[in-house]
């Protein structure tokens, strides 16, 4: 008996999560799998480079949905994915993370009575203004297999009334990818290209709508970064949506005047991992980077008011600073004065999450 699996990815964070699953699946003779790229992220720097660097097979189908409003994008994904599933019989649909592709494909599979496995289930920010929170909660509700990355995710699901029979604590697939490519990333020349010295710069990532679509919040963050960059150079691989907002809100001139603030194009996974691993600290609104900095033991300042990954705070190197100018400046100063969190490695963040996921699916399907 052969198990047919559809593995869905749509946006940059998804690619790092499906890569280790693909790696395990390709060595299983009793599994046939197809990679479905929804095209939610379509820019070459946000998509193709990750497939190339991470060794993800060329997608069996690309839905090419592009950038749209949440409703339009979700609808286009559902229409394209339904056509794919009707034409290609699948036993399980595996979705990862919390982007629109995650929810859209889960809905389609559920209505076609195909079991759904959600990788990274149970994460909660408890902020319903975040579209990702809506996506992750609804995806969990209709999934048949809930693969969790941390113990607090298990607790969230149990509190919400999920049966423990559906919950599988497997660890973090993002960390599988990091551990595999860490040594390879050490050979990157990105520091030389950008003219940087190890531990003599900070890295910024910023893309969430709550930060970049709000003139007030983006203004406060830039004010804080203006002070911090006087103390240490800041490198910002700019996200396309943020680049547009900077122009729309008229912040370009301010940023040009910040001589230690360097904007660069988005980087591939290997170069960005090397950049992050050698930074003094990272400022971010990304969930995945909160996890990666915890493993790398790099101090992380999260410019959000809540996180769906609290384990990075309780056990890791993460500090929540929101958009509070003084708090950002103070925490950055603490790090520069060698007064930072060191952190510990969370349970099961050991590079084996993808293997656990595949073994569970095979066992549950009696293969």
Q: Taking residues 113-126, report their average pLDDT.
A: 98
d(CA 33, CA 356): 17
Tens-place pLDDT, residues 90-110: 999 999 999 999 999 999 999
d(CA 220, CA 225): 9
- Do the domains at 3-171+352-364 and 182-336 have one common CATH topology? yes
Q: Taking residues 259-270, report their average pLDDT.
A: 94
Q: What is the mean pLDDT of the chain?
A: 94
pLDDT bracket for residue 120 (50, 70, 90): very high
pLDDT bracket for residue 365 (50, 70, 90): confident
Token pair for residue 20? 């280790």
- Helices then strands, counting H and E runs in the chain, come out as 17, 13
Q: Taking residues 221-246, report their average pLDDT.
A: 95
pLDDT at position 279 over 80: yes
Are β-strands 116-119 and 261-264 bridged in parallel, bridged antiparallel, or unpaired?
unpaired
CA dihedral 76, 79, 81, 86 (to 10 degrees): -170
The pLDDT assigned to 226 comes to: 98
Contact 275, 269 (CB under 8 A): no
The pLDDT assigned to 47 comes to: 53
Q: Taking residues 221-234, report their average pLDDT.
A: 98
pTM, entire model? 0.93
Residues involved in catalysis:
207
Tell me which architecture the domain covering 3-171+352-364 has in CATH. 3-Layer(aba) Sandwich (3.40)
Of 357, 47, 363, 309, the closest CA to residue 176 belongs to: 357
The DSSP annotation for 33-79 comes to EEEEE--SS-SGGGTHHHHHHHTPPPPSEE----S--HHHHHHHHHH
pLDDT at position 125 over 80: yes
Contact 346, 316 (CB under 8 A): yes
pLDDT bracket for residue 46 (50, 70, 90): very low
d(CA 98, CA 118): 9
Sign of CA pseudo-dihedral 198, 329, 338, 313: negative
Give the residue extent of every domain in the chain: 3-171+352-364, 182-336
Residue range 182-336 forms a domain whose CATH class is alpha beta
Q: Taking residues 181-199, report their average pLDDT.
A: 96
Of 105, 123, 125, 124, the closest CA to residue 115 belongs to: 105
Token pair for residue 242? 């943020």
């Amino acid at each position: 008996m052969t198990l047919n699996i559809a593995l869905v990815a749509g946006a940059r964070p998804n690619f790092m999560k499906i890569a280790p699953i693909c790696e395990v699946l390709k060595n299983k003779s009793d599994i046939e799998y197809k990679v479905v790229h929804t095209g939610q992220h379509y820019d070459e720097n946000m998509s193709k480079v990750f497939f190339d660097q991470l060794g993800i097979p060329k997608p069996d189908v690309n839905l090419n949905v592009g950038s749209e409003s949440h409703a339009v994008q979700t609808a286009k994904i559902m229409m394209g994915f339904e056509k794919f599933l009707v034409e290609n019989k699948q036993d399980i649909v595996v979705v990862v993370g919390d982007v629109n592709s995650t929810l859209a494909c889960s809905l389609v599979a559920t209505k076609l009575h195909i079991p759904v496995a959600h990788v990274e289930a149970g994460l909660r920010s408890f902020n319903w203004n975040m579209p990702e929170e809506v996506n992750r909660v609804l995806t969990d509700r209709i999934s048949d297999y809930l693969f969790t990355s941390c113990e607090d995710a298990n607790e969230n699901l149990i509190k919400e009334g999920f049966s423990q029979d559906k919950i599988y604590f497997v660890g973090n697939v993002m960390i599988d990818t990091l551990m595999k490519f860490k040594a390879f990333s050490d050979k990157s020349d990105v520091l030389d290209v950008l003219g940087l010295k190890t531990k003599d710069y900070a890295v910024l990532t910023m893309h969430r709508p709550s930060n970049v679509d709000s003139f007030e919040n983006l203004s406060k963050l830039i004010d804080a970064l203006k002070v911090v960059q006087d103390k240490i150079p800041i490198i910002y691989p700019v996200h396309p949506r943020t680049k547009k907002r900077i122009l729309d809100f008229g912040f370009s001139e301010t940023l040009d005047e910040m001589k230690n603030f360097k904007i660069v194009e988005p980087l591939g996974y290997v170069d960005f991992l090397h950049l992050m691993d050698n930074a003094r600290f990272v400022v971010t609104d990304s969930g995945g980077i909160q996890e990666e900095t915890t493993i790398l033991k790099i101090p992380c300042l999260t410019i959000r008011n809540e996180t769906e990954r609290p384990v990075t705070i309780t056990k890791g190197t993460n500090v929540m600073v929101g958009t509070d100018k003084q708090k950002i400046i103070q925490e950055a100063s603490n790090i520069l004065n060698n007064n930072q969190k060191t952190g510990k490695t969370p349970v099961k963040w050991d590079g084996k999450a993808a293997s656990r996921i595949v073994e569970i699916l095979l066992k549950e399907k009696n293969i």
